[in-house]
Amino acid sequence: MADIDARLREDVHLLGELLGNTIRDQHGADFLEKIERIRKSAKAGRHGSTQSTEQLSSNLESLGEDELLPVARAFNQFLNLANIAEQYQLIHRRDDSKPQPFESRVLPELLERLKQSGQSSEALARQLGKLEIELVLTAHPTEVARRTLIQKYDAIAAQLAALDHRDLNRLEREQITERLQRLIAEAWHTEEIRRIRPTPVDEAKWGFAVIENSLWQAIPNYLRKADHALHAATGLHLPLGAAPIRFASWMGGDRDGNPNVTAAVTREVLLLARWMAADLYLRDVDQLAAELSMQQASPALMAASGDSAEPYRSVLKQLRERLRATRNWAHASLSVTQPAPEGVLHNNRDLLDPLQLCFQSLHACGMGVIADGPLLDCLRRAVTFGLFLVKLDVRQDSTRHSSAMTEITDYLGLGRYNEWDENARIEFLLRELSNKRPLLPAHFKPAAETAEVLATCREVAAAPAASLGSYVISMAGAASDVLAVQLLLKEAGLQRPMRVVPLFETLADLDNAGPVIEHLLSLPGYRLRLHGPQEVMIGYSDSAKDAGTTAAAWAQYRAQEKLVEICRAQQVELLLFHGRGGTVGRGGGPAHAAILSQPPGSVAGRFRTTEQGEMIRFKFGLPDIAEQNLNLYLAAVLEATLQPPPMPKPAWRTMMDELAADGVNAYRAVVRENPEFVEYFRQATPEQELGRLPLGSRPAKRREGGVESLRAIPWIFAWTQTRLMLPAWLGWEDALSKALERGEGALLAQMREQWPFFRTRIDMLEMVLAKADSDIAQLYDERLVEPGLQHLGAHLRDLLSQACSVVLGLTGQSQLLAHSPETLEFISLRNTYLDPLHLLQAELLARSRVQDASLDSPLVQALLVSVAGIAAGLRNTG
């Protein structure tokens, strides 16, 4: 721990000093001294100095209009640099005397443990090789940093790595420090805030950049180490075609409530993915063609090369020409739709076969050491990413499908679909699904919304099957929701099976998920159209916003249990898709623990989950960090498959029923039933101002209205900015307190010790409470909330205090996260820079609400920078 602290503080001090140099160069020594006074006041205030806290407030309130933006920018950049330093601590070089981090040890240790528990070598190798984990990258508007800044931050991390060598001489250290100084200056002189809201295509390009700059390297690296761990434990290797972790995306396919995602956008993103994939493989194949100059080859390779003197180069150059043709065609098709010329790669086998032929030939000719180098890496990328890079999911709200069906049935003179009961809808849909004639005449001219739904279905029908993932129906509530999409896809000409996935989001929908799927599986003809597992998506964000995390977590667990039971009885494979957010309030949290806490049988070699917003960058933005997180996913899914957690005892179920009932009542009493709540929320948080922040392509609201109309992301984002963190804990304080009052503390302790589901919920609750700060939240109230509503803020802070007390009582600690001093150190490090930003943000909000300032004004720019800085400092937004 001392080593980590010393390293971290050393790196933060260096980066802060270099940032200070940059600020002094632009704004002068006096301004830098003012920044330093603010920082020192914040630090002293954190250590209990009331005078320093008052001085901090005074310094911030006295800032002139021209100083607001540079002060906000200074602390924002400090926090981003602290993030870089902290992230590097996870992957810094360790000599042989230092233990490897948990993320690097987790798979080898698990394999050894599984062997000792009686698993055979063959069974372990077989299960590891056939795991199906799919991480679905989503572009929800939580990635605050611009892509150009992210690239500079990655370059800074690379220089910290270069500095992490004890044998550097003075000149080498000076050169690295100079590069760091230059990079920090470049970041300082780059605007943090986008001037224009990104388009869905921009978001897709951002996702592709994460693959290009990080995952492209991380995938073969983690597979190489997994193969090594498997061989060390069992003597066996991963099959050449194993790709335990693959990627899908919602970027350019998620049209739920986002009018900017159209059929044309989906088509463009699919083509961009093919263009990017071909370009990345071209780089690999160019390198391989240069390196594989050997002459000895297998008969199969010699035949493929036409008996060339350099058979490997000959085969790879043929592949290179086809990749060029594919790239050129995909790029040209972005402008004008055109048929693919001869040579364009359409099937993943066209990519894999020549690579495998070279690989097998090298091994057959005694050159395995060459085959197992960059060629093996390229093969593993090809198996993982294929020709289409990521599978694109399509998502749309169920009401859009229902409206389209209503317009169609109305046009056909059959009545209005949305007025029919469920039985009538199903009878109609089943009849039309089995009917060989088209439903609609060619001259049908639908309204704009229906036309867009039909156009999307046509794009799905036209796209290669391997380029698409699932069609997700948000706010699904009935079997007819799935059948309606199947019928619309059939009408668009889809000739192949596609997974149509109901997403159950609200508390009521989660409780109804089992009966809906049971009904679906019993319908005539449905099983024939299934072709693979029944996929069901569990919504974490909206269920938590609807009912609070206590009731939502238990509803999600019970829904999964019921779905496992139903599919097992029906002898249908089940694939659960977890719509988890980045934050605890939206079902987020450490993935490894979360997977191991799922109901037994729900992770049966398959796991699909969303990776959202800024968490993509934090978990996969650097190759070494990505490798660690891929290891965690791999180990957790393997362990949950082979050693599932215990079934909850009847007493635990009864307790969770009571906790959920008390939790939802307490949550809704505040959020839904208090008539003052919505107005207080809008005054106390930057919720209204967040709508001005050009983050993602999606609107902040689905429709006009109160809290129920907000998307889950800005709902969480707003409370995070003020440090009250309300959505993540509200309801737990009442539920746990009542259980303790009933004398059930021993049962709660037993659940926490023996039941991974409950332990993980309490651990995540403790984490978010450690980041919450009642004093900061009070400062916002005092500056922004009218006196008549401030009593509500005081009440909520009392509830926060109650939540902290009850969790400390449950964990037996005197301080939140006392068991994790490293995490406490990271939080403490950031608070010094966060406190001035919070106070500054409250001041900026107060000023902006009495002025009609434009987006380009220093006041609004400073406010937006403060939002970005706080998001960076807390390492989560929504």
- DSSP category for residue 373: I
Compute the distance between CA of residue 324 and CA of residue 329 in angstroms, rounded to an integer. 8
List CB contacts of 426: < 8 A, sequence separation 6 or more.
479, 480, 483, 523
- DSSP category for residue 371: I
Which residue, 541, 660, 640, is CA-closest to 594? Answer: 640
Are 580 and 540 a contacting pair, CB within 8 Å?
Answer: yes
Compute the distance between CA of residue 620 and CA of residue 622 in angstroms, rounded to an integer. 6
**Helices 790-811 & 732-741, crossing angle to 10 degrees?**
50
Q: Find the radius of gyration of the CA atoms of the chain.
A: 28
Are 555 and 506 a contacting pair, CB within 8 Å?
Answer: no
Locate tokens 């050997």: which residue? 294
- DSSP category for residue 260: T
Question: 617 is written with which tokens?
Answer: 């960058």
Compute the distance between CA of residue 868 and CA of residue 862 in angstroms, rounded to an integer. 10
Position 199, amino acid: T
Compute the distance between CA of residue 418 and CA of residue 243 in angstroms, rounded to an integer. 43
Among the listed residues 92, 140, 205, 578, the single catalytic one is 140
Compute the distance between CA of residue 120 and CA of residue 125 in angstroms, rounded to an integer. 9
Which residue, 495, 552, 611, is CA-closest to 247? Answer: 611
Among the listed residues 34, 205, 490, 545, the single catalytic one is 545
Compute the distance between CA of residue 773 and CA of residue 726 in angstroms, rounded to an integer. 11
Which residue, 346, 344, 124, 352, is CA-closest to 236? Answer: 124
Q: Is 140 a catalytic residue?
A: yes
Are 84 and 19 a contacting pair, CB within 8 Å?
Answer: no
Compute the distance between CA of residue 878 and CA of residue 541 in angstroms, rounded to an integer. 10
Question: 54 is written with which tokens?
Answer: 């008052």
Compute the distance between CA of residue 308 and CA of residue 297 in angstroms, rounded to an integer. 10
Greatest alpha-carbon span in the chain: 88
Q: Is 545 a catalytic residue?
A: yes
Locate tokens 């439903």: which residue? 439
Locate tokens 């599932």: which residue? 644
Are 568 and 533 a contacting pair, CB within 8 Å?
Answer: no
Residue 535: helix, strand or coil by DSSP? Answer: strand
Q: Which residues are catalytic?
A: 140, 545
